[in-house]
Amino acid sequence: MSGNVYSQRDVRRVQTVNGGRVTKVRMVRIQGESGGGAMAGGLTGALLGSTIGRGCASNTAGAIGGALLGSAIGSHAAQEAGTRNGVQITVRQDHGSTVAVVQELNPREYFYAGDRVQVITSGGFARVSH
C-alpha cells in the first residue's frame, strides 16, 4: 500500500510516529501474490491433462502433468498481474535508529534524500509520510 492508503484494520488504531530524515530512496518492484493463480492453473491443467490419452493410467499421468504445468503457469501469471511499482525509503530517525520501509509508489508523494519525514508504525507495519 502507498503511504496514503489505509486498510479498515488501521482505522482508530493507535500508531507510533517518529520523525526522521530520508537517507536513501530506491525504486523497487512489489511482486504480486501467486496463491490463487497457482490453484486455478493447477485445476485447469488437471482437467485438461486428464483428457490426454486412453486408459486410467494415461488419464492420471496427464492430469498430474497438467496440474503441475498449469500451476506453474497460473502462479507466474498471478504474480505478474499483481506486480506494481514501489519505493524503499531509508530513514535515519531522530532517536538514532535507521529503518527501511518498502511501500507502493504514490505518484503524488515523492521522497528525496534529505527530506524530513514521519515513520508511522502500528502492529509491525510501517509507512513513511511527509
Q: Which domains does the chain have, with CATH numbers?
A: 8-30+84-129 (2.40.50.140), 35-82 (no CATH)
- Residues of the chain below pLDDT 70: 1-4, 10, 33-81
pLDDT, position 8:
73
pLDDT, position 79:
47
How far, in Å, CA of 26 to CA of 24, rounded?
Answer: 7
- Burial (Cβ within 10 Å: 0-12, 13-18, ≥19) of residue 124: exposed
User: 67 in helix, strand or coil?
Assistant: helix
Q: What is the pTM of this model?
A: 0.60
CA–chain centroid gap for 71, Å, is 19
Q: Three cell numbers at 127? A: 509507512
